[in-house]
Amino acid sequence: MKSISRNADNGNTFESSIEAFFSQFQIFSIARKAHATKTKGVSFKVLWTFLVSVLLSGRSSYRNFQMQELPFSEKTYRNLLNNPKIDWQVFLACLAQKVTAYFSTFTSEERKNVFIVDDSMYERLNVKKVELAALQYDHASHTYKKGFRFLQLGWSDGNSYVPVLFSLLSGKNKVAQENETDNRSLASKRKQQAQGKGTEVLLELLKLALKRGVKAPYVLFDSWFSSPTMFKKIRELELHVVTLLKRSSKVYYFYQGKAIDVKTLFKQLKKRRGRSRYLLSIEVEAHVGDESIPIKLVYVRNRNKRNEYLVLATTDMTLSEDEIIQLYGKRWAIEVFFKMCKQYLQLAKYQGLSYDGIFAHTTLVCVSYTILSVQHRQEGDDRTIGELFYLMVSELADLTFEEAIFQLLEMFKEALYEEMVLSASILEEILEKFLSLLPKATQHKLKRATVY
């Protein structure tokens, strides 16, 4: 997925592939809903096709201007990106609705589609004049960096990932901010959202996604967003949560009438023995005000270290333990998305200073990833070829349990390495030894999961 692969017709260019995608999903009709139109000069269609092709080609816009003659200047497309009247969130949400509906036609109704939420560091160097940039704590490097928190809401069916909505969050210590003359304007509301709390912005994004017709019954996120209050607010949206819980002694859940934290529960209750896929599964309640929310907890073992474990939680009490682990494994897709955006789609290489321009460029990156996701699905799923293949060919398999276990092992490695408990080389040795002790059939499945 580094670039759009070419089909049998070698004469196809980036532009023809991009235009085919735009035509299939009526992107310019969507652009009109988001007020992304031009009344004079070069059309939005020409400019947007050029900008997407620049990202997917891996070249800078400056280099493209040097290599070919274009009917517009750099100022023309920068004016489009800096236009404060375009609602980029509506633009991206409407596109996501069409793409997710297209993917859903190739899978059964029993498939459990999910929303995935996570944030990542959007670093900007030399940010003295970058609007709303602020000091952010990077959990990966354990240092403070200047830039934004890239809060992303995506959709996945276990095979394909589609970016739905995002927000670039600022902080209290903003580096720079332009004065707004009208707090009712779209640009002002976008910047007000950037200065809100991450949990509140997450709920805003979920509401907008549901309003625009993007459908999924579950919301996946990691421990940074998990809390009883968040569970309550997401249940009010008629969605279920599958999340990783914080192993905190300050957050209590009610078990058999007693308020107990997840650490104490693990110490007091009897664990499963042998090679069970999980250590412990119990039903508890979270109290928020006068309301009680039933929650199912699943403790997943770390076979390498007895005292280490993950705690998964869901508000859907009908899910089995295997289904909970499998569903949470789908969250890995958003990590792949962040890596692709940063390494291949020039996410942080835009040099504009205005918040509107940075937001528009990030939308451009999300659209480019959506094109890659559709192309990857069409190449891998024979059902997309035509009606005969749709009827005769089985749908692509969902994320397997083995793949979910592999991804949980990767999370253990990250957690232990970040906390400086073990070095990277020692972690690799422990995991290799652990894998060698498993049955041969399980080893084979896990190796196949790593290739996936």
Question: pTM for this structure?
Answer: 0.80
Nearest to 382 by CA among 75, 121, 106, 184: 106
Q: Record the tokens describing residue 219, joined without a space.
A: 């919301």
pLDDT at residue 66, rounded to an integer: 56
Distances (CA, A) of 392 to 307, 374, 378, 403: 49, 21, 16, 27
Q: Record the tokens describing residue 192, joined without a space.
A: 């007000």
Distances (CA, A) of 185 to 34, 78, 160, 198: 14, 20, 35, 22
Handedness of CA 320, 326, 330, 331 (dihedral sign): positive
Report d(CA 171, CA 174) in Å as an integer. 6
Report d(CA 279, CA 285) in Å as an integer. 20
pLDDT at residue 265, rounded to an integer: 92
- Strand 253-255 to strand 258-260: parallel, antiparallel, or no bridges (unpaired)? antiparallel
Nearest to 330 by CA among 94, 109, 117, 166: 117
Distance of CA 181 to the CA centre of its chain: 34
Which positions ≥6 away from 439 have C-beta within 8 Å?
Answer: none
* φ, ψ for residue 72, nearest 5 deg: -155, 165
pLDDT in tens, the chain (452 residues): 444 443 444 334 567 888 889 999 999 999 999 998 877 788 888 888 888 888 887 766 655 555 566 777 778 888 888 999 999 999 999 999 999 999 988 888 888 999 999 999 998 877 778 888 888 888 777 888 888 999 999 999 988 999 999 999 997 655 545 555 567 788 899 999 999 999 999 999 999 999 999 999 999 998 888 999 999 999 999 999 999 998 888 889 999 989 999 999 988 898 887 677 788 999 999 999 889 999 999 998 776 666 688 899 999 999 999 999 999 989 999 999 999 998 888 888 888 889 999 999 999 999 999 999 998 888 876 665 544 444 444 555 566 666 666 666 666 666 555 555 556 666 667 666 666 655 565 566 556 545 44
Report d(CA 113, CA 239) in Å as an integer. 12
pLDDT at residue 11, rounded to an integer: 36
Report d(CA 111, CA 378) in Å as an integer. 19
The SS3 assignment for 48 reads: helix
Report d(CA 221, CA 320) in Å as an integer. 19
Q: Give residue 344's identity as a one-letter amino acid code.
A: Y
Q: Which residue has the tokens 């192309």?
A: 375
